[in-house]
Amino acid sequence: MSEQRQRGEWLTGPVLVVGAGLLGTSVGLACRRSGLEVLLSDLAVEHVRTASGMGAGRALAEGDVPQLVVVAVPPDHLGAAVAAALEAHPEAVVTDVGSVKTGPWRAVADSPSCDRYVGGHPMAGSERSGPLAASASLFDGRPWAITPHRDSRPVAVEVVEDLVRLCGGVPVWLTPEEHDRAVARTSHVPHLLSVLAASRLAEGPENHLALSGQGVRDVTRVAAGDPRLYSQIVGANSAAVLDLLTEVRAQLDSVIAAVGAGDRAGLEDLLATGVAGTRVIPAKHGGPARPMRSVWVSVPDHPGELARLLADAVDSEVNVEDIRIDHDPGRPVGLVELVVEDSRAEHLLGSLESRGWETHR
């Protein structure tokens, strides 16, 4: 998995990584693998020393001018760190790898330099943390959300997409708000339910636990994650998490009622909704090759138009597998290619046309 990735045309470096933990150091290693210059900074000097020693880059020095800043700090410090990066590096594109996306965006939305910020979130991690757990292949084949906001400059989006591909990630395009609703469903609420299952074990007699099989190990594995980190993550996404927990609670009440009443058919129906849920999880790495189709859209060359198109595609509930921007500086209109599953292409075209976009088949 250590082959050098092809570098895109937009990201040329240097790349500054702020926060040399598991994710930041892994980004540094992946960028170095492709020959980019990487600068490192961290409040903990020993993290920079460790990451440097692993070959993830060198310590940031006075006078360094990064092209891209990747903010990889804990959730509670994310917004402030993104704002500080925009101010300290007035020419740089800034992204982050945090687990929630509306928070850091709101922290900079009122700043005129927010057009240089494009959020990101790689779906990769580990029960372990710190630079020693880092690996250049941590992101290989993993989804990596890219969350442009309405004011993101297209060139900033391109630079961040280059970073994602260079790290081996699979871009998933979402708005910051949709991203946070998505991770509440696919990550934060499953984590909390894993914790509820694991908590019951803590009170169990030892010989009862001897019956633990693969099932309970799988269900509870993520509950071993750092409570401090996850309380920050869940706390930063409380609205979306609460919406879903309310649904969970209602369904739990239904389960309790069905079990209590000996209502086998009702319980079977509830269990069947779980089966349906497991079937909609996409296969790893995109699963079996599905037929893809490109949809082209004319996009006026005004700030915000690309982000507006992305937001409209996201609202159409179509998963955009790839985006290519065919931008000719000499023309007032660019052509954007959206690659989607063939079976969803007509739906997307209709939806975009109804929102006023000029499409090409």
Nearest distance in Å: CB 195, a copy of itself: 3
Compute φ and ψ for 336, nearest 5 degrees.
Answer: -110, 130
Nearer to a copy of itself, 61 or 281 (CB): 281
CB-CB neighbours of 271 under 10 Å: 11
The structure tokens 């409380």 sit at 238
E strands in the chain = 15-18, 38-41, 58-59, 68-71, 93-96, 119-122, 143-147, 170-173, 292-300, 322-326, 333-341, 358-360
Could you tell me the two tokens for 36?
Answer: 């980019």
Nearest distance in Å: CB 86, a copy of itself: 26
Nearer to a copy of itself, 231 or 354 (CB): 231
Q: Is 116 left (phi over 0), alpha (psi -120 to 50) or beta?
A: alpha
Nearer to a copy of itself, 65 or 331 (CB): 331
Nearest distance in Å: CB 29, a copy of itself: 10
Nearer to a copy of itself, 98 or 125 (CB): 125
- Alpha-carbon distance values, 180 to 98, 146, 177, 254, 261 (Å): 11, 12, 5, 27, 37
| Cα–Cα distance, 280 to 193 (Å, whole number) | 19
Q: Estimate to the nearest angstrom the gap between the alpha carbon of 243 and the chain centroid.
A: 20
Nearer to a copy of itself, 87 or 353 (CB): 353
Closest CA to 360 of 297, 292, 294: 297
Closest CA to 233 of 243, 245, 225: 225
- Alpha-carbon distance values, 108 to 83, 87, 111, 155 (Å): 6, 10, 5, 18
DSSP, residue by residue, 225-289: S-HHHHHHHHHTTHHHHHHHHHHHHHHHHHHHHHHHHT-HHHHHHHHHHHHHHHHHSPPGGG-S-
Nearest distance in Å: CB 361, a copy of itself: 6
| Cα–Cα distance, 85 to 27 (Å, whole number) | 17
Nearest distance in Å: CB 150, a copy of itself: 18
Nearer to a copy of itself, 84 or 244 (CB): 244
Nearest distance in Å: CB 190, a copy of itself: 4
Nearer to a copy of itself, 2 or 4 (CB): 2
Nearest distance in Å: CB 185, a copy of itself: 5
Nearer to a copy of itself, 62 or 206 (CB): 206
The structure tokens 């209709």 sit at 350
Nearest distance in Å: CB 26, a copy of itself: 10
Closest CA to 64 of 21, 13, 27: 13
| Cα–Cα distance, 106 to 181 (Å, whole number) | 16
Nearer to a copy of itself, 16 or 167 (CB): 167
Nearer to a copy of itself, 12 or 319 (CB): 319
CB-CB neighbours of 296 under 10 Å: 16
